[in-house]
Amino acid sequence: MGTDARNERRSTDSVVHRISGISTANRPGNRHDWITGLTDAGHSCSKSTRGTRRCHMNTSNPMRPAISRRTFLGAVAATGVGSLAAGCGAGDDNAGDSSSAGGELSIMFWGEGNQNELQLELIELYEQQADGVTFSAEYSGLEGYYDKLATRVAGGNPADIFGIHDVSLAEYAARGAVRNIEEFRAEPLGLDSVANESVVEGCLIGGELHFVPLGVSTEPGFIYDKTVLEQAGLALPSDEWTLAEYRELAQAVAQSGVRTAGTADLGGVPPALGAWLRTHELSLLSSGGLGFDVDDLAEWFNFWDELRREGSAVPIEVTAAAVGFQNDPVVTADAALTTTAKDKGWLALDGLTDDELVLVPFPRAAADAPAATQIVPGAWFAVSAESEKVDAAIDFLSYHISNMDALRTIGIGRHGVPLFEEAREELYPEAKPAHQKIYDLLATVEASQTGAVDVVYPVGANELFQQLKPLNEQIGFGQSGVSDAAESFFDTAERILEG
């Protein structure tokens, strides 16, 4: 994953920095003439003549979308830091010299494919118009990113601005690692003007802003292979389709013989479970805990067990091996229906197959049931509680989410559709047809979304939901019954969420 983004060519004389196969040394313009050098063993760094210092993290740890509490506290203990919350907790107004302007800001983020290159281009655009601000940028693929971030935060040396996932928001806020930025919500960030209330809600801790949303996504993304369905002579799903219609379609694909099965097995996918719960008038999360019970989870596991047994869902061996977009059952030609955590994941799948893939909302429990798909932030940046450049950080983040040149540069593949309606109206006609489909799905979901949404995961939720995949596989391999797997999940939930 992101192999090209991690490749660098080194010599004793110079470093040619490459991102997604693009040699930045060969790009036109003086600002891309590189002054290069190496720092510590975990990085290679370069500096443009404009002053942007770039450090690519050479990470090799297994992919972990968010650290567990054990990992976070282990990093704290290893560095001798007793409490990150002391003197810099969430809501603390003491942010160092928050009025400082100019100077160097540090930023840390991850991306795949060309995402890091686009982020760096946006940063350089900002430097061109900012008053004496330069950036030190540290970045990598997702693999190993959170281990590095945890070490930096625990050691008291975090970047001024850092990228973060939804499953990590509460964890980092609880440790006092992020700055309360409620005072900047209306101005200059302008977040009171965001059309989708749930997007801002997904950035709040204790009712106050702690994270900046970088865009808007729908969750989960649901995808069907139009090429396969037409080849099998089957009707295409509508935006209002139901779970019963989904199951019938999966059965029909399997019976047609065009694919091994109709659908990917989603029994171990947390966003899919969340969608199923919402359309059944439940929720993945409630205040500080879960919004469903053991019987609900057993019903979910049983649904997928039945689909596997009847051949509508792919065999459990395929599911166990389906790690990464390249191994998704639609890409490997094992199925015609699948999901991604967010709609923008469709772009990755679409680039891995010659078939035509189409985005639709997640199926509802019934025609009159609540919508299953929800609207959420596409990505987040946080300002470190340790930062002495808070005003400068906020100015950059305001530029990031509202400046039209910045939005054109970053696109929607990493951060989602722009937050503000005016920007969407201007950029939609310019967007590639594939990107317009993301805009279109958002408009469809906006028109139908009702009820509460799942926003900030409670502390420990990521560690808990990582249990879904192995439990679903244990059922599929005959190593556990449905009821036992559901009970096991809730035993773990009690330990993690209440421990």
How would you class 478 by CB atoms within 10 Å of its CB: exposed for 0-12, middle for 13-18, buried for 19 or more?
exposed
User: How far is it between the farthest Cα atoms of the chain?
Assistant: 67
Residue 70 has pLDDT above 70, yes or no: no
Q: Is the pLDDT of residue 218 over 50?
A: yes
DSSP sequence for 6-53: G-EEE-SS-EEEEETTEEGGGSSSGGGPEEEE--STTEEEEEETT--E
Q: What is the pLDDT of residues 83-108, one digit of tens each?
A: 223 233 333 443 334 334 568 999 99
Q: What is the mean pLDDT of residues 71-75?
A: 43
Q: Which residue has 């893939």 as its token pair?
A: 357
Mean pLDDT, residues 378-384: 97
Q: Which of 56-60, 101-105, 449-453 has the highest mean pLDDT?
A: 101-105
Which segments of 355-420 does DSSP mark as H helices, in order?
A: 390-402, 404-410
Q: Which are the contacts of 221, defined by CB distance < 8 A and separation ≥ 6?
A: 339, 340, 341, 342, 343, 344, 345, 346, 359, 441
pLDDT recorded at residue 62: 33
Q: Tally Cβ neighbours within 10 Å of residue 318.
A: 20
Separation CA 239–CA 156 (nearest Å): 48
**pLDDT at residue 64, as a whole number:** 37
Least reliable range by pLDDT among 52-61, 133-142, 223-232, 281-290? 52-61
Residue 23, pLDDT > 70, answer no
pLDDT at 289: 79
More reliable by pLDDT, 130 or 3: 130
Q: How confident is the model at residue 183 (pLDDT cuts 50, 70, 90)?
A: very high
What's the rounded Cα separation, in Å, for the pair 385 and 193? 26
Q: How confident is the model at residue 454, as a pLDDT?
A: 61
**Structure confidence at residue 34 (pLDDT):** 18
* pLDDT surpasses 80 at 49: no
Instruction: Say what the pLDDT of residue 364 is.
Output: 97
pLDDT category of residue 381 using cuts at 50, 70 and 90: very high
Higher pLDDT, 460 or 384: 384
**What tokens were used for 146?**
């959170």
pLDDT attached to residue 91: 37
pLDDT tens per residue, range 393-429: 999 999 999 999 999 999 998 899 999 999 999 999 9
User: What is the per-residue pLDDT for 66?
Assistant: 40
Question: Each residue of 110-166: pLDDT tens digit?
Answer: 987 788 999 999 999 999 999 889 999 999 988 889 999 999 999 999 999 999 988
Mean pLDDT is lowest, of 4-13, 162-171, 298-307, for: 4-13
Alpha carbons 252 and 264: distance in angstroms, whole number: 14
Residue 53: pLDDT band (50, 70, 90) is low
CA atoms within 13 A on the CB side of 402: 15
pLDDT at 94: 38
Average pLDDT over residues 321-330: 92
**How high is the mean pLDDT of the chain?**
82
Could you give the domains of the chain? 4-214+379-438 (3.40.190.10), 221-372+467-498 (3.40.190.10)
Token representation of residue 327: 């191994």
Mean pLDDT of 438-467: 81
Asked whether 359 and 226 are in contact (CB, 8 A), the reply is no
pLDDT band at 370, cuts 50/70/90? Answer: very high
Instruction: Return the percentage of the chain with pLDDT > 70, whole number.
Output: 78
Model confidence pTM above 0.85: no
> Which residue, chain included where needed, has tokens 């006092």?
176
* pLDDT bucket at 492, cuts 50 / 70 / 90: very high
Q: pLDDT-based confidence at 286, cuts 50/70/90?
A: confident
Say what the pLDDT of residue 456 is. Answer: 76
The rounded distance, in Å, linking the Cα atoms of 463 and 164 is: 16
Whether residue 312 is predicted with pLDDT greater than 90 in this model: the reply is yes
